[in-house]
Amino acid sequence: MKSLVVYSSQTGNTKKLAEAVHEVLKGEKDIYAIADAPDPDGYDLVAVGFWLQAGKPDLKTADYLPKIGSGKRLFLFATHGAAAGSAHAKNAMDHAKGLAPDADLAGIFSCPGEVNPKILEKVKAKPQTPVWLDDAPNAIGHPDSVDIEKLKLLIDSL
């Protein structure tokens, strides 16, 4: 089995998850930042990692996911300011799956990721603050070693 890990990460949170996924995957495996990502053809399993932007996968990931068609196993992972298991995070993961409707979903993982303080200041100043803002203080220090271990266990069980 040949696996590809592709990740989009501005501040490094999702990159940490991507490196953990890559470490645990068995068989032949490649890892790429999304800007350099190859075509997913030629891979059996594609793990795509992203950060949430406006309640959805970031734009680069939203462009990449439709390239993953039928016959591919897809593992989705993400970081976000929102709480783990929140409706906001779940909706975003559902949205991501919808961008690759023909792929065979092998698994999903998401966890909080510390939000850049400058971004938080900007978001707080908006007249209408997003739902994830209240959760953002709890994302400080994430992804942590517990998040990474949970993800590794999931990947190990694929």
Ligand X SMILES: Cc1cc2nc3c(=O)[nH]c(=O)nc-3n(C[C@H](O)[C@H](O)[C@H](O)COP(=O)(O)O)c2cc1C
Residues that bind ligand X (CB under 6 A): 9-15, 51-55, 79-82, 88, 113, 115-116, 119, 130, 132
Tokens found for residue 124: 């707080």
In the complex, minimum distance from the CB of residue 4 to ligand X, in angstroms, rounded to a whole number: 18
In the complex, minimum distance from the CB of residue 28 to ligand X, in angstroms, rounded to a whole number: 25
Comparison of 40 and 112: residue with beta carbon closer to ligand X: 112
Q: Looking at the DSSP assignment, which residues form a beta bridge with residue 109?
A: 77
In the complex, minimum distance from the CB of residue 99 to ligand X, in angstroms, rounded to a whole number: 16
Comparison of 52 and 100: residue with beta carbon closer to ligand X: 52
Q: Are the C-beta atoms of 66 and 39 separated by less than 8 Å?
A: no
In the complex, minimum distance from the CB of residue 101 to ligand X, in angstroms, rounded to a whole number: 22
**Alpha-carbon span 68 to 19, nearest angstrom:** 21
Q: Are the C-beta atoms of 116 and 11 separated by less than 8 Å?
A: yes
Comparison of 83 and 105: residue with beta carbon closer to ligand X: 83
Using CA atoms, how far residue 25 sits from 48, 70, 103, 115, in Å, is 13, 21, 19, 28
